[in-house]
Amino acid sequence: MPRKNRSDYIFDNCVVHARLQINNGEFHFKKTSHFNLWRKITLRYLKKYPTVKLTGYQWMSNHCHLTLEADIALDLSRFMHDMNWRFAFEFNKLSQRKGHLFQNRFRCSVIDKNEYEQTVQRYIYRNQIRARMVKKVSQTRWSSYHFYAYGKEDPLVTPFRTYGLFGVKKRMRMLQFRRFVETMMSHEEKTWKKQLINPTIKIKNNTFINYSIKTGMG
């Protein structure tokens, strides 16, 4: 099947949820030095492409979730391409490895509803709990969660559009956001308990299924 043109999915002034997968699902992202390298490179290309804004991120050991806003769709593709290429190049040097770091193209879902934008933020910040990397969301690392939940400065992050809906005052906004992310909904808890018993059961959210698309990098 021919590769679909990303212009079919992304457009000027769009908001997206992107996912990067390390090749073959290998667990390469393990150290703080890896994260610091990614931060340095990401900041470099956010400056190069000022029409692209990073509104959220969560690194796991073998994949990464990003939420982004793009005034110019083409710049989003260029930003992802340049950032991924440079990070792979520098990571390979640091790790003394060769070959592709990322698997194929990044996956990208368009966010076109306020509820979906908030749900995506909640979804990505609970990933390390699902992977049993941490016990509480407050312990998560390699993430923009602490920017929103505790006001920690992060030069990579531009607040997502609907963050202000959590409260007019900063302290209340952070508190409500923490509650939103850290409080597990009853139907989610039941599904996750089933997954502990049967790992083949996948956690699904109709919102994500409906918006599942792919775009290219090159």
Supply the range of the domain harboring residue 84: 6-210
Please check whether residue 1 lies inside any domain of the structure. no
pLDDT at 147: 97
Q: What is the pLDDT of residues 54-80, one digit of tens each?
A: 999 998 877 889 999 999 999 999 998
Please check whether residue 48 lies inside any domain of the structure. yes
CA separation for the pair 189, 88 (Å, rounded): 36
Q: Mention every residue, 6+ apart, whose C-beta is less than 8 A from residue 3.
A: 105, 216
* CATH number of the domain encompassing residue 126: 3.30.70.1290
Comparing CA positions, the residue from 42, 51, 48 lying closest to residue 10 is 51
Q: Mention every residue, 6+ apart, whose C-beta is less than 8 A from residue 207.
A: 115, 116, 119
In this model, does residue 168 exceed pLDDT 70? yes
Token pair listed for 120: 């995506």
Burial class (CB in 10 A: 0-12, 13-18, 19+), 192: middle
pLDDT band at 106 (very low <50, low <70, confident <90, very high): low
Please check whether residue 217 lies inside any domain of the structure. no
In this model, does residue 188 exceed pLDDT 70? no
**Would residue 43 be called left, alpha or beta, if left means φ above 0 and alpha means ψ between -120 and 50 degrees?**
alpha
> Mean pLDDT lowest for which of 66-80, 102-116, 192-206?
192-206
Please check whether residue 218 lies inside any domain of the structure. no
Please check whether residue 134 lies inside any domain of the structure. yes
Please check whether residue 81 lies inside any domain of the structure. yes
Sign of CA dihedral 11, 121, 59, 35: positive
Residue 53: how many CB atoms within 10 A of its CB?
21
Please check whether residue 215 lies inside any domain of the structure. no
Residue 82: how many CB atoms within 10 A of its CB?
16
Please check whether residue 216 lies inside any domain of the structure. no
pLDDT at 5: 45
Total domains in the fold of the chain: 1
